[in-house]
Amino acid sequence: MSNPDWNEFDFATTAVRAGHVRTHEGEHSEAIFSTSSFVFQNAAEAAARFQNKLPGNVYSRFTNPTVRTFEQRLAALEGGECCVATSSGMAAIMATCVALLEAGDHIVAASGMFGSTTQLFKKYLTRMGNPVDFAQIDCIDDWRNKITPQTKMLFLETPTNPLTQLADIAALAEIAEKNNALLVVDNCFCTPVLQKPLDLGAHIVIHSATKFIDGQGRCVGGAVVGDKQRVGEDIFAYLRTAGPTMSPFNAWVFLKGLETLEIRMQRHCESAAKLAQWLQDEPSVERVHYPGLSQHPQHELCKQQQTGFGGIVSIEVSGGKEAAWKVINSTELLSITANLGDAKTTITHPATTTHGRITDEERAAAGISDGLLRIAVGLESPEDIFTDLKRGL
């Protein structure tokens, strides 16, 4: 089985096996090719490799066998033709925009995205000649209204963090198609276990591998998945020139993460669902944001679009910031940190951390109240997580 068609295999099998090419040493676990350059048999082979006339590795900023194994495995899991790995999730977004947009091309992005993504668009891409407008993620008409004749890209992440609002990917893919624009989906929160944006019509999928793909909070990395021309040629060409490539060691950690991704995501989802139910019955909890709850405004869309409801639960406690901080400060088990997708449950107060630098009006418009807490549910026992939260509720 040197290069099988992974479409014929189930997700779990692909996640464990795809992309691995065993060397003459017969290693069972994938090797880490920690080498910056590669050696040629003779001068003619060197010349041919440099001119792309012979396939093969030249330098690890261009290609590396461990990184390639990760890329092929993630491409197979997302159902894309091609994947390129990057040094971080942000590098994946930057590479996609720089490689695929011309100066003057307009972007419509979802409001309420990851802070650095919003900042990258507002501060840097605008400066490079790519104006951006933000659309209310769950309002198709708003997306339609923000599109101009210059719009070349729609960009979103779904569900949003921390309020778990969803974008209707298939509906937006149709709008993108009609307007000759690309639909780019950051699939960090769902991973291909829960959501396959390419199957729903998106052109490009972005990952911060740092989160659920690693799953244990060890390495920073990212990836772009899509078709051969845009990802395999255009974005790859940018990466090999500009340099934000993934290190072989990080690729190896992420490969190992992919092997357990499905069972981890199932556990994240199960525990988050239990916790959301329990928290709903707490008198000091005014509101629970979780797409798995039947009263979530997009519960039905979530059931169509995702195969699970995800591992992130947000709650609004009565008593504002003081009450929210009390919950955080009463925890003994949970980690007070903004990272997510980790085996360890994390708790964050968005109004004073991730959303602390925006104005009060912007925060109110984004729906980030002072009593809001985000819990990225880890792999501990859900009962223990609940007990730890209850201390301060």
Ligand X SMILES: *Cc1c(COP(=O)(O)O)cnc(C)c1O
Residues near ligand X (CB under 6 A): 88-90, 114, 116-117, 157, 186, 188, 208, 210-211, 220, 222
CA proximity to 231, closest of 62, 81, 57, 56: 81
CB 156 within 8 A of CB 104: no
What is the rounded distance in angstroms from the CA atom of residue 242 to the CA atom of residue 319?
Answer: 49
Q: How far apart are the first and last CA of the chain?
A: 55
In terms of CB distance, is 68 or 211 closer to ligand X? 211
What is the rounded distance in angstroms from the CA atom of residue 304 to the CA atom of residue 126?
Answer: 35
In terms of CB distance, is 222 or 248 closer to ligand X? 222
CA proximity to 191, closest of 291, 269, 304, 250: 269
DSSP string, 349-389: -GGGTTTSSS-HHHHHHTT--TTEEEEE--SS-HHHHHHHH
In terms of CB distance, is 250 or 271 closer to ligand X? 250
Q: What is the closest distance, in whole angstroms, from the C-beta atom of residue 48 to ligand X in the complex?
A: 36
Q: What is the closest distance, in whole angstroms, from the C-beta atom of residue 88 to ligand X in the complex?
A: 3
In terms of CB distance, is 24 or 123 closer to ligand X? 123
Q: What is the closest distance, in whole angstroms, from the C-beta atom of residue 52 to ligand X in the complex?
A: 30
Q: What is the closest distance, in whole angstroms, from the C-beta atom of residue 337 to ligand X in the complex?
A: 12
In terms of CB distance, is 255 or 285 closer to ligand X? 255
Backbone angles phi, psi at 297, to 5 degrees: -55, -25
Comparing every residue's Cβ against ligand X, the nearest one is 89
Q: What is the closest distance, in whole angstroms, from the C-beta atom of residue 198 to ligand X in the complex?
A: 17
Q: What is the closest distance, in whole angstroms, from the C-beta atom of residue 63 to ligand X in the complex?
A: 21
> Which residues on adjacent β-strands are paired with residue 376?
312, 346
